[in-house]
Chains A and B, each alone.
Chain A
Amino acid sequence: MKTGLAENAAGAGIPRSAGNPRGKIGRGNLLNNFAGIGAEILYVFGLMLIGWVLSLLCGW
């Protein structure tokens, strides 16, 4: 695709990712979908753990 000035400016500094066009969301890939959701939730709990440890250190 030609990169015009406007295209460059919008979403500036955001490198365009290729994505994964073969990946599917919905029927046929539900196991992967739910494993992915589980992984995302796990990450947030990790983040909360950091918050909790820092709160514990400073609030003790």
Chain B
Amino acid sequence: MLPNRNHESHAKPILYFIGVVVVGLGSLMGIPLIVAALYGEWKIAVDFALSASATLLLGGLLMMAFRAYRKQRLGWGEGMTVTAAAWFVGMLVCAIPYSLSGCYNSYLDSCFDVMSGFTTTGLTLVQDMDHLSNGINMWRHLLTFVGGQGMVVLVLTVLTRGVSGAYKMYVGEGKDERLMPNVVHTARSIWQISLIYLGLGTLCLWIAGMAEGLSADRAFLHGLWIFMSAWSTGGFAPMSQNILYYHSALYEIITIVFFVIGSFNFALHHAVLTGHKRELIKNVEIISFTVTVTVLTLLVTLGLMRDNVYPGAVAMFRKGFYQLISGHTTTGFMSIYARQFYLEWGDVALFAMILAMLIGGSACSTAGGFKGLRMAVIFTAFRRDVSRVALPEATVSVRKYHHIRDVVLDDGVARSALLIVIAYIFTFTLGTLAGMLCGYPFGMSAFEAASVTGNVGLSIGLTSAAIPWALKAVYVVIMWLARLEFMSILALAAYVAMKVKKK
């Protein structure tokens, strides 16, 4: 995990690659700039022009200063350090347009929103969301869309050719499956899949929006933004009431389809879209997801039924099932008001929601949480160990599970899966404690901590611009840690510690 001992020489390629990512993010600011200009939002367009100039200048200077190191081989520690550092620096530069727009109370609030977007969490501290400009809305949703697919790998595959450490950075972004033999082709496949769905999803939501009475251009923009958010399991929406704003069963059904598919493993998408449709029935991650959704839906509906919260099956489905599946896929779309969780839902339903948010979606997807694959690996290991106790000592017990191909369960994989799940639980505990230390009740703190740890975005009403700055900072760190699955940030921390120790 630790970077090479000769870290002095490795700081320079790390800075070069951070420069490349910063240039990529600066270029990305061109999209909201164009949208703002198209809609005559000149103040916002100038904000984006200034932010893009500053970002491109910073990135360009880093690239030029360390250009000589661009072909240096990166080790695992350096690759992951680049990813973790690029996400942090990316947060700082992408918050500039938010800060200039005046839509946020402080620069910390802007950084919170950027990290929430990048990590596909979806919690927001923006002021007066219902009157945001199209340029700012485009930036919010674009950040979540790019963050979901993997920002560093996108930038590196577009802006550079044949980077030796690209795969290490890809792994550092919490993805570890090669769809194709080469990481550039893998990243390209991920983007192909996402762009096919982008066209399909935007079209469906555009039509649904017009059917619900929105004007054609407004329906298109809302459709595009909601799709970007759904596919990335992000949870941002252009209106403060989130999905509840549309009061539309059609909109709810379409969003369920795209955020559930968005929470699938990209390796699974690739297999299914290239002719292996049976993978949808055989894949252990899908089986795990189906089982946990069924059990937790039962718990939520029983909890809601016990407290008599909703009068009939339709309301139970549109409110209970929708929030559950939104939380389980770590999307965070809501069709109820945040305070209703606390005031109406009751302990059983909230407990099920917390579990769903912590378990999360699939590995190598846009989703957060423990991941279904890890749950399946741990469960399979548990079954194997129980069967070992029951069988004679000399018997060799081998367990297999199916994920794209049949895989024999390996002790190392089971141990690593358990360690990461423990790390998530520890982070969730810290987040809950931080909420309670800031004076919020246990239930609210635990719900919000689960939402932040699982990169979900559902809120019980705790997260707002009024919460203490320390809690905002803790949530930013937790979102960052959980999204990159801990190791990249630990590599960065080890790297910084080594630098400090040397001085």
On A, residues with C-beta under 8 Å from B are 4-26, 29, 32-33, 35-37, 39-41, 43-45, 47-48, 50-52, 54-60
CB neighbors of A among B168-197 (8 A): 168, 171-172, 174-181, 186, 189, 192-193, 196-197
Decide: B373 and A14 in contact? CB cutoff 8 A: yes
Contacting residue for A37 out of B189, B200, B305, B363, CB 8 A: B200
* Known contacts A10-B485, A59-B315; is-contact A17 B274 (Cβ 8 Å): no
CB neighbors of A among B292-307 (8 A): 293-294, 297-298, 301-302, 304-305
Decide: B192 and A25 in contact? CB cutoff 8 A: yes
Q: A33 CA to B273 CA in the complex, in Å?
A: 4
Q: A51 CA to B180 CA in the complex, in Å?
A: 35
Say yes or no for B5: interface residue by CB 8 A criterion. no
Decide: B253 and A36 in contact? CB cutoff 8 A: no
* Known contacts A13-B373, A18-B405, A41-B261; is-contact A51 B273 (Cβ 8 Å): no
Decide: B277 and A39 in contact? CB cutoff 8 A: yes
Decide: B416 and A43 in contact? CB cutoff 8 A: no
Say yes or no for B491: interface residue by CB 8 A criterion. yes
Decide: A44 and B261 in contact? CB cutoff 8 A: yes
Decide: B270 and A23 in contact? CB cutoff 8 A: yes
Residues of B within 8 A of A43 (CB): 280, 286
Residues of B within 8 A of A32 (CB): 273-275
Task: Tell me, rounded to whole Å, the shortest Cβ–Cβ distance linking A54 to chain B.
Answer: 5
Query: For A44, A52, A60, which residue has the most chain B Cβ atoms within 10 angstroms?
Result: A44
Q: Is the interface of B mostly helix, strand, loop or mixed?
A: helix
Decide: A12 and B313 in contact? CB cutoff 8 A: no
Decide: B305 and A59 in contact? CB cutoff 8 A: yes
Q: A19 CA to B179 CA in the complex, in Å?
A: 5
Query: For A10, A29, A51, which residue has the most chain B Cβ atoms within 10 angstroms?
Result: A10
B236-279 to A contact mask, C-beta < 8 Å, 1/0? 00000000000000000100110011001001011111111100
Decide: A6 and B416 in contact? CB cutoff 8 A: no
Decide: A40 and B261 in contact? CB cutoff 8 A: yes
6 contacts between A and B (CB under 8 A): A6-B75, A7-B171, A10-B172, A17-B403, A25-B273, A47-B290
Q: Is the interface of A mostly helix, strand, loop or mixed?
A: helix
Contacting residue for A50 out of B196, B293, B304, CB 8 A: B293
Say yes or no for B360: interface residue by CB 8 A criterion. no
Contacting residue for A58 out of B257, B301, B403, B487, CB 8 A: B301
Decide: A12 and B410 in contact? CB cutoff 8 A: no
Residues of B within 8 A of A16 (CB): 176-178
Decide: A12 and B419 in contact? CB cutoff 8 A: yes
Residues of A within 8 A of B257 (CB): 41, 44-45
Q: A16 CA to B413 CA in the complex, in Å?
A: 10
* Known contacts A36-B277, A40-B264, A54-B297; is-contact A14 B256 (Cβ 8 Å): no
Contacting residue for A35 out of B277, B298, B317, B412, CB 8 A: B277
Q: Which residue of B lies closest to A23 (CB)?
A: B274
Decide: A51 and B325 in contact? CB cutoff 8 A: yes
Residues of B within 8 A of A36 (CB): 269, 272-275, 277
Say yes or no for B396: interface residue by CB 8 A criterion. no
Contacting residue for B196 out of A11, A12, A33, CB 8 A: A33
Query: For A4, A21, A22, which residue has the most chain B Cβ atoms within 10 angstroms?
Result: A21
Decide: A50 and B171 in contact? CB cutoff 8 A: no
Q: A50 CA to B256 CA in the complex, in Å?
A: 13
Say yes or no for B76: interface residue by CB 8 A criterion. yes
Say yes or no for B321: interface residue by CB 8 A criterion. yes
Residues of B within 8 A of A44 (CB): 256-257, 260-261
Q: Which residue of B lies closest to A11 (CB)?
A: B176
Q: A19 CA to B180 CA in the complex, in Å?
A: 6
Say yes or no for B351: interface residue by CB 8 A criterion. no
Decide: B485 and A20 in contact? CB cutoff 8 A: no
Residues of A within 8 A of B320 (CB): 55
Task: Tell me, rounded to whole Å, the shortest Cβ–Cβ distance linking B321 to chain A.
Answer: 4
Say yes or no for B488: interface residue by CB 8 A criterion. yes
Query: For A26, A48, A59, which residue has the most chain B Cβ atoms within 10 angstroms?
Result: A59
Say yes or no for B312: interface residue by CB 8 A criterion. yes
Q: A56 CA to B407 CA in the complex, in Å?
A: 38
Residues of B within 8 A of A29 (CB): 274-275
Residues of B within 8 A of A9 (CB): 1, 416, 487
Decide: B413 and A5 in contact? CB cutoff 8 A: no
* Known contacts A6-B1, A8-B416; is-contact A15 B403 (Cβ 8 Å): yes
Q: Which residue of A lies closest to B182 (CB)?
A: A21
Decide: B274 and A24 in contact? CB cutoff 8 A: yes
* Known contacts A33-B196, A40-B264, A50-B293; is-contact A6 B487 (Cβ 8 Å): yes
Contacting residue for B412 out of A8, A18, A40, CB 8 A: A8
Q: Which residue of A lies closest to B303 (CB)?
A: A58
Say yes or no for B458: interface residue by CB 8 A criterion. no
Q: A10 CA to B324 CA in the complex, in Å?
A: 29
Q: Which residue of B lies closest to A39 (CB)?
A: B277
Task: Tell me, rounded to whole Å, the shortest Cβ–Cβ distance linking B423 to chain A.
Answer: 9
Task: Tell me, rounded to whole Å, the shortest Cβ–Cβ distance linking A57 to chain B.
Answer: 8
* Known contacts A10-B485, A14-B374, A19-B178; is-contact A39 B275 (Cβ 8 Å): no
Residues of B within 8 A of A45 (CB): 257
Query: For A6, A20, A58, which residue has the most chain B Cβ atoms within 10 angstroms?
Result: A6
